[in-house]
Amino acid sequence: MAVLIKSRKEIDKLREAGRLVAETFEVLRPHVKPGTTTAELDKIAEDYIRSHNAIPIYKGYGAHPGGHGRPAIPPFPGTICASVNEVICHGIPSDKQVLQDGDIIGVDIGVILNGWVGDSCMTYAVGNIDEESQRLMDVTRKCMDLGIEQARHGNRLGDIGAAIQTYAESNGFSVVRDLVGHGVGRSLHEDPNVPHFGRAGTGMRLQKGMVFTIEPMINVGTYETNTLADRWTIVTADRKRSAQYEHSLAVTDGEPELLTVL
């Protein structure tokens, strides 16, 4: 059952956390260039977040000892997820990964500020990118925007997914099925799950006070995925490029309220 945020004060707290995430993206922007390592981006982001009395929520997240048929998962080591080219999400920052002219990189940032979570993702172009990569980024951002337009009181979760899937596929791209948006609030992952594909008019009915992310991951080729040996990095099965954009939002009695903007 989705958590409903009913007070203006709580929404404002979520906006403060989200604004810090948006600021961090702008701090990173001039450093996303050929020759920068993803570890350097990670340190810039962590320093900025901590200097504002917030905690990078991804760092140390998600450890699992394994057992009962589930493999062990180490804690995530970075402040940001740095997902370059064919990496869909959860790319681990590294001092060995140097950005090259023509790359694209998805950067996912999550913080906890005064007990509330901000979570967002954007894809940057590194130097001069090819036409297909630019179109992929443009379509992915539009997919997010179309999904956000459907996040209204009385609509259903399937309306969000259908809008995203229809636009992505009409442009010759595919929508990742294995990963979805999620509720946010006091925790990084809350109910409901928010698929980026589906049929209009199906799924949970949206209510004023729901807070969740819309974060489509759109691929040039197949929507199928592989997880690498580090247990975190998820790549396209055909190793073609992927892009992602994400906002956290609150459902209102009118337009959805974006929480991860300046």
Q: How far apart are CA 79 and CA 82, in angstroms?
A: 9
196 is in an annotated binding site: no
182 is in an annotated binding site: yes
Residue 2 burial (CB count, 10 A):
19
119 is in an annotated binding site: yes
**Closest among 107, 85, 198 to 147, alpha carbons compared:** 198
The letter for the amino acid at 13 is K
108 is in an annotated binding site: yes
Are the C-beta atoms of residues 26 and 262 closer than 8 Å to each other?
yes
SS3 141: helix
Q: Indicate the DSSP class of residue 259.
A: S
- Sheet with 247-250, strands from edge to edge, namely 190-194, 181-183, 211-214, 247-250, 257-258
In terms of C-beta density within 10 A (0-12 exposed, 13-18 middle, 19 or more buried), how is residue 170 classed?
exposed
Q: How far apart are CA 108 and CA 91, in angstroms?
A: 9
Q: Please report, in range form, the residues annotated as the binding site for a divalent metal cation.
A: 108, 119, 182, 215, 246
Q: Please report, in range form, the residues annotated as the binding site for substrate.
A: 90, 189
Q: Please report, in range form, the residues annotated as the binding site.
A: 90, 108, 119, 182, 189, 215, 246
